[in-house]
Amino acid sequence: MIYFDNAATTINKPDPVATAMTNALTNIGNSGRGVNSASLSASRVIYEVRTKLSRLFNVPKPEQIAFTQNATEALNTAIYGTITSKDHVITTAAEHNSVLRPLYNLLNKGTGLTIIPCDESGRLNPHDIEAAILPETKAIIMCHGSNLTGNVFDIKAIGEIARSHDILFIVDASQTAGIIPIDVQAANIDILCFTGHKGLLGPQGTGGIYVKEGVSISPLKQGGTGIMTYSKTQPEIMPTLLEAGTLNGPGIAGLGAALDFIEEAGISNLYQTELQLTKYCYEALNKLEGIKVYGDFSMFKSGSEVSAYRCPIISFNLADISASSLGDILANEFDIQTRTGGHCAPLMHESLGTKEKGSVRLSFSHYNTFEEIDCFISAMKSIIA
């Protein structure tokens, strides 16, 4: 099988991930639930992973990161925990439904919402975001990278806009965490939401949320915490505030092993491999008859050196063949796994003019090879013929 669906989840993990999870299943207890050795061992493992994540994202204190089940839970926590019916929010047409659906829900309850459009290549203009700010604007909520086009947005420039207007900047890093460097301090990010099972190379069921010190946020869940048992309210200290209930200790242990791999290999080294695979595939695919590729690939057209960031993603269509049909042919006849359809990004499809048809998405990991891409291009040539 050739697997080109890493934007959904990576299935090739570093070997130590499974080892760490297996060890955790039989050796760690419930973090924060007692002073027995198994519980303390779990607490140590979890704290170590917080520390690794804080290094990766340049977070001042590990305690500012809380673990979640995935980015969806993190984004729901961020949105429902900071926005009220009296507020106004700015988001973009590039967003995943993990952002859009909570915001639509709040819109129905009175929250103001402005959605900044993207152009036909899926690009955003930061000036459009600044122009949409109102006196009651509470937050800018947006993705760092599009899961459909692979375009990466200038979060540093937008973070400066948010800071200059004293509004929250909430960033969805689902497609960029572990792939593209993120510095929450340099980008003025107040809340960062991420998942563990994509670019971070960890297991499913892991993710997290960074909350800047001093930012007020209400918990999505309330319950057992292991501390302040007799309090009628959730403890307000991070990360306990956002970590009600038993954490996924084995999953977090696996995520920690993945972070060790990324740190040792070097995030820039892994990214360069993925970027070169993307460039190689884009250039070969773009030469085929009837192919329409979506997104901004201008960084590939200026020469051999690529300086701009983009996610290792290519979305495309072939002539009048439906995306789902093409994906089925690639899977059933060539054993090439892609992602087809709407990709949970409805407004971006409207921007691209692919609302009815959807698209076929290829997304690469450093585990992919140029030979796999050659097989894909050969398959496409056969289909076109």
Residue-wise pLDDT for 99-128, tens only, equals 999 999 999 999 999 999 999 999 999 999
Q: Phi and psi dihedrals of 42, rounded to 5?
A: -65, -40
Which residues on adjacent β-strands are paired with residue 228? none
The model's pTM: 0.96
Residue 192: per-residue pLDDT: 98
For residue 306, name the pLDDT band (cuts at 50, 70, 90). Answer: low
Q: Rounded CA gap, 66 and 223, in Å?
A: 15
For residue 14, name the pLDDT band (cuts at 50, 70, 90). Answer: very high
Residue 230: per-residue pLDDT: 79
For the stretch 53-82, pLDDT in tens is 999 999 999 999 999 999 999 999 999 999
CA 45 to each of CA 62, 78, 358: distance values in angstroms, whole numbers, following the listed order: 13, 25, 42
**Nearest-5° Cα angle at 80, 201 to 349:** 60
CA 327 to chain centre: 23
Give the three-class secondary structure for 117.
coil
Residue 272: per-residue pLDDT: 95
pLDDT: is 220 or 375 the higher one?
Answer: 375
Q: Rounded CA gap, 74 and 71, in Å?
A: 5
Closest CA to 261 of 52, 46, 22, 23: 52
What letter does residue 63 receive in the DSSP assignment? G
Lowest mean pLDDT, pick from 38-42, 279-283, 336-340: 38-42
In the chain, how many H helices and how many E strands? 11, 13
Closest CA to 171 of 211, 124, 126: 211
Residue 28: per-residue pLDDT: 81
Asked if 181 and 152 count as a contact pair (C-beta separation under 8 A), the reply is no
Which whole number is the average pLDDT over 135-154? Answer: 98
For residue 302, name the pLDDT band (cuts at 50, 70, 90). Answer: low
Lowest mean pLDDT, pick from 68-72, 129-133, 237-241, 310-314: 237-241
Which whole number is the average pLDDT over 165-176? Answer: 98
For residue 233, name the pLDDT band (cuts at 50, 70, 90). Answer: confident
What type of residue sits at position 249?
Answer: G
Burial 314-324 (b: 16+ CB within 10 A, else e): bbbbbeebbbe
- Element of type H or E holding 244: none
Give the three-class secondary structure for 361.
strand
Which whole number is the average pLDDT over 325-343? Answer: 97
The number of residues in the chain equals 385
Q: Tell me which residue has tokens 């990576």.
A: 10
Report whether pLDDT(260) > 70: yes
Residue 305: per-residue pLDDT: 55
Report whether pLDDT(280) > 80: yes
Q: Rounded CA gap, 135 and 126, in Å?
A: 18
For residue 20, name the pLDDT band (cuts at 50, 70, 90). Answer: very high
Q: Rounded CA gap, 176 and 194, in Å?
A: 9
Residue 222: per-residue pLDDT: 86
For residue 244, name the pLDDT band (cuts at 50, 70, 90). Answer: confident
